[in-house]
Amino acid sequence: MKLVVTEKNDAAQKIADLLGVKKPKADKVYSTPVYRFDVDGEEWVTIGLRGHILEPDFTPSMVYKKRGGWQGVTEEGETFPADLPATLPKPPFKKKKPFTEDGVELKTWKMDALPYLVYAPIKKQPKEKEIIRSLKNLAKKADSVIIATDFDREGELIGSDALSCIQEVNASAPVSRARYSAFTKEEITHAFSNLVELDVNLASAGASRQDIDLIWGAVLTRYLTLVKFAGYGNVRSSGRVQTPTLALIVAKERERLAFVPEDYWVIRGAFGAEPDAFEAPHATARFKVEAEAQAVMAHVEGATAATVSSVEKKKRTVQPPAPFNTTSLMAAASAEGISPARTMRIAESLYMDGYISYPRVDNTVYPSSLDLAETVRAISGNPAYAPYCKELLAKGELKATRGKKETTDHPPIYPTAKATPDDLAPADYKLYNLIARRFLATLSEAAVIEGTKVTLDVNAEPFVAKGDVLVKPGYRAIYPYGLKKDEQLPALSEGETIAFGGATCTKKQTEPPARYSQGKLIQEMEKLGLGTKSTRHSIIERLYTVKYIQNDPIEPSQLGMAVCDALDKFAPHITHPEMTAELEEEMDNIAEGRTTKAQVVDTSRNLLSEQLASLLPHSEEVKDALADAVAADAYVGPCPKCGKDLQLRASQKTRGMFIGCAGWPDCDVTYPLPKGKVEAVPEPCPTCGMPQVKVTAFRSKPRTICIDPNCSTNKEPDVEVGECPACKANGKTAKLIAQKNPRTLKRFIRCENYDECGTGYPLPQYGALAATGEVCEHCGAPMVVVTTNRGPWRLCPNFDCPGKEQDEGKKDAKAGAKKPAAKKPAAKRKAPAKKA
């Protein structure tokens, strides 16, 4: 039997399809899917891994006293470092540790152990145990093995890890490597009939990246976390990619802080008469000196007519955009309000459901094997695209735009099946729509815009009106994203006199450079070589979860700035993107055989050791800086009782947030907070003067609320929403009241006779609530209307209402029928049937 190992299940299936003469048989080994088929009478099996199946980690080890010096030792008795650098401090000695003499364990997070952790041995540990089990099971029966993971450095490493698992159970089977960069019949057949050897050097280049990332990440993360301990689960991380990324954000904020706004004055005149009235600014767009602006105002004072001194028209064409790769998709989606991390989550599920092609690509050029017309036809079933698709297809041969990056591993992201708003949840459709329209745009003609520049003369003062009109929409007809509105000017001719309705002079200020949006940051990371297409979004998300950054456009928290400053001062190597550039260079050297993994990792360890040695003596300073930053981030306002700081805090028990006084335990002032992400807001409540916080509940827009439950903005009158059905069944009459608990701010419906009948329903926690007077047809609960900023939402509050499932079922059946036949409908992807 021939065993073929791919990087993912998808690839295993595709390769089986392309190599098998007959349709491959889908099978399972334990819980892992495999594909069996015959080639010239020989049995072949393909199995897909799940990316890396092994993961490096420190081996259990400790530092102990040796005659004449100090030594690290692993559980297996291996000692490290080979030559202890003289700069290493003496480790402290503790009594009785599990496996050797007195010492300090490296597994426990201890500041004293960090200098040794730098040199601690690393071993590959199993990560995907189920896959490894299945792989070994197949390997035992294999006569030969073909590694067919992706054709890149990480692919070589994944393949090499798989091979080491295979050889644990079968050391004799011959091994070869298939290298392909597209799932086409020709490419795959060619790769499997021209097998090569696994590139061990390339794999160890990847392995050195793993080790270096782990060592630097672990040492610096532990340092930052331990230097100012803030409770378990409160990690302050650092890493080769995330820290330089944070530094970019901090540098931008510094630029903004250093920015000194300058005053300038803008003069705008009113011209023409309704309905052709329009405004135009003075030819000097910005007056830096007020007196000059006032002089112009004096010149035009009292004027009632303007002369058209020139009319210039210029046509310009705007070329249609290039096909989407991961980065450009994330940037475009980010501009539409979908974060890169969310974009990738949605894209992954659209891909799995067969709506779009593989979403992790660098390529921006459609391969010739992609049938563009067929794809247009496939999505033309969506009525919103139908007329445009028809036009495109009528043109005959389709010609697509080409981006700058051309690789052959996967095609750029394009739609693979039709979807309509009924098939997908709203956010999913929003992304699908962007991808489908972009695809059509790349096949379209350029847009032609006519720009008009009219110079108007008022008492010898020039005013300039500019207008832009789309004269030939081209791709703009299907791809309106980022489109400015037309600014139409009335038809004017040179020498014409029109009415002048006076001018206004406004004082303005220059603006600091803009913060990064998530999309812009991803593009900047790509430019600097930070992270990969598949990881950049998760790096940014990581910075949010450790609370180094907040909001979008992104601003650093005080903590983020403090971490960045501390590292930049004492361990600057980790804060610069050059660390990645240097690592890339070293990895090339390893791949080319000019150096070895051991050498590169050792050099990196020594460098980290130096950086740590410069960090450790300044721990007090770093600790204070972090403590101040954390306090500043948590500060919401002064305590009304004792005047100390009110702070955002996490409850130890529930992990929920609340506001507590820094004077605790002397001062017991606390305020409850609703569920969701909470941030401090500088402005106090306009109604009562207490501090406010910004609360972002799951999948909701942020809202700003006063922290005082007794503030009138938090009070809500009880609303009578109907009669209690349970009491009615018992022959009694009782009202159902919607109310808000003044202590917890939770809103719910309860029967006024609750103590006896126990009837209660949950309610959405915000939005204006109103009774409808109607009763749910399924369960008899009172229907209510909640109006949020997304509009009114009519709902039955009964969590167990039998009507809920029925509605979901109907929607599923309807959507399922429209799905592409090959893919199974995924129930979880459907839009929840809630808005009526």
Stretch that binds DNA, among 35-43, 237-245, 772-780, 823-831 (CB under 7 A): 237-245
Residues in 140-199 at the binding interface with DNA, rule: CB under 7 A: 150, 152, 154, 158
Mask for 48-87, x = binds DNA (CB under 7 A): x-xxxx-xxxx-----------------------------
**Sheet strand arrangement including 447-458:** 278-281, 263-271, 497-509, 305-318, 447-458, 461-472
Nearer to DNA, 519 or 531 (CB): 531
Query: How far, in Å, CA of 149 to CA of 763, rounded?
Result: 50
What is the separation of C-alpha 495 from the centre of its chain, rounded to a whole number of angstroms?
56
Nearer to DNA, 128 or 423 (CB): 128
Query: How far, in Å, CA of 366 to CA of 152, rounded?
Result: 20
Query: How far, in Å, CA of 50 to CA of 33, rounded?
Result: 11
Rule CB under 7 A: choose which of 167, 176, 534, 700 binds DNA: 534
Query: How far, in Å, CA of 219 to CA of 610, rounded?
Result: 12
Using DSSP's 3-state secondary structure scheme, residue 455 falls into strand
- Whole-angstrom CA distances from 218 to 76, 118, 235, 301, 651 are 22, 9, 11, 70, 27
Sort strands 144-147 and 175-177 into parallel, antiparallel or unpaired: parallel
Rule CB under 7 A: choose which of 177, 179, 240, 829 binds DNA: 240
By CB under 7 A, residue 325 contacts DNA: no
Nearer to DNA, 400 or 590 (CB): 590
- Token couple for 725: 């059905």
Query: How far, in Å, CA of 716 to CA of 768, rounded?
Result: 9
Rule CB under 7 A: choose which of 294, 310, 538, 788 binds DNA: 538
Rule CB under 7 A: choose which of 96, 129, 197, 232 binds DNA: 232
Minimum Å gap between C-beta 786 and DNA is 34
Helix residue spans in 460-592 (DSSP H): 518-528, 536-545, 558-570, 578-591
Q: For 179, phi and psi rounded to 5 degrees?
A: -115, 115
Minimum Å gap between C-beta 55 and DNA is 5
Nearer to DNA, 204 or 452 (CB): 204
By CB under 7 A, residue 604 contacts DNA: no
Nearer to DNA, 105 or 645 (CB): 105
Cα torsion through 520, 524, 530, 533, rounded to 10 = 50
Stretch that binds DNA, among 208-216, 259-267, 509-517, 684-692 (CB under 7 A): 208-216
- Whole-angstrom CA distances from 812 to 220, 514, 807, 827 are 49, 44, 9, 7
Residues in 103-132 at the binding interface with DNA, rule: CB under 7 A: 108-109, 127-128
C-beta separation of 80 from 113 below 8 A: no
Minimum Å gap between C-beta 104 and DNA is 12
By CB under 7 A, residue 597 contacts DNA: no
Rule CB under 7 A: choose which of 124, 360, 732, 778 binds DNA: 360
Mask for 774-793, x = binds DNA (CB under 7 A): --------------------
- Set 35, 119, 223, 358: catalytic member: 358
Rule CB under 7 A: choose which of 14, 282, 437, 542 binds DNA: 542
Residues in 243-282 at the binding interface with DNA, rule: CB under 7 A: 243
359 in the Ramachandran plot: left (φ > 0), alpha (ψ -120 to 50) or beta? alpha
Stretch that binds DNA, among 4-12, 622-630, 757-765, 789-797 (CB under 7 A): 4-12
Nearer to DNA, 232 or 698 (CB): 232
By CB under 7 A, residue 541 contacts DNA: no
What is the separation of C-alpha 301 from the centre of its chain, rounded to a whole number of angstroms?
54
By CB under 7 A, residue 798 contacts DNA: no
By CB under 7 A, residue 619 contacts DNA: no
Give pairs for 531-537: CB < 8 Å, separation 24+: 531/241, 531/245, 533/325, 533/326, 533/327, 533/360, 533/361, 533/362, 534/326, 534/344, 534/360, 535/241, 536/327, 536/330, 536/340, 537/330, 537/339, 537/340, 537/341, 537/343, 537/344
Residues in 19-48 at the binding interface with DNA, rule: CB under 7 A: 48
Stretch that binds DNA, among 218-226, 458-466, 696-704, 738-746 (CB under 7 A): 218-226
The owner of tokens 């399924």 is 778
By CB under 7 A, residue 368 contacts DNA: no
Helix (H) or strand (E) holding 598, with range, is helix 597-615
Size of the site for DNA (CB under 7 A): 55
By CB under 7 A, residue 209 contacts DNA: yes
* Active site annotation includes 358: yes
Q: Closest by alpha carbon to 422, among 386, 387, 381, 389?
A: 381
C-beta separation of 797 from 763 below 8 A: yes
Nearer to DNA, 57 or 496 (CB): 57
Q: In DSSP terms, which residues pair with 266 in a beta bridge?
A: 506
By CB under 7 A, residue 235 contacts DNA: yes
By CB under 7 A, residue 446 contacts DNA: no
Stretch that binds DNA, among 229-237, 262-270, 411-419, 466-474 (CB under 7 A): 229-237
Minimum Å gap between C-beta 342 and DNA is 14
Nearer to DNA, 306 or 574 (CB): 574
Minimum Å gap between C-beta 346 and DNA is 11
Rule CB under 7 A: choose which of 24, 217, 556, 797 binds DNA: 217
Q: Which amino acid is at 298?
A: A
DSSP assignment of 117-151: HTT--EEEEES-HHHHHHHHHHHHT-SEEEE---S
By CB under 7 A, residue 8 contacts DNA: yes
The owner of tokens 């099996």 is 45
Q: How many residues make up the chain in this entry?
A: 836
Rule CB under 7 A: choose which of 199, 348, 582, 812 binds DNA: 348
Nearer to DNA, 347 or 400 (CB): 347
By CB under 7 A, residue 428 contacts DNA: no
- Token couple for 38: 């015959």
C-beta separation of 53 from 131 below 8 A: yes
Q: Closest by alpha carbon to 346, among 410, 412, 435?
A: 435
Minimum Å gap between C-beta 39 and DNA is 24
Nearer to DNA, 6 or 444 (CB): 6
Mask for 731-770, x = binds DNA (CB under 7 A): ----------------------------------------
Catalytic residues: 358
Which stretches of the chain bind DNA, using CB under 7 A?
7-10, 48, 50-53, 55-58, 108-109, 127-128, 150, 152, 154, 158, 209-210, 213-214, 216-218, 221-222, 225-226, 229, 232-235, 237-243, 348, 352, 360, 531-535, 538-539, 542
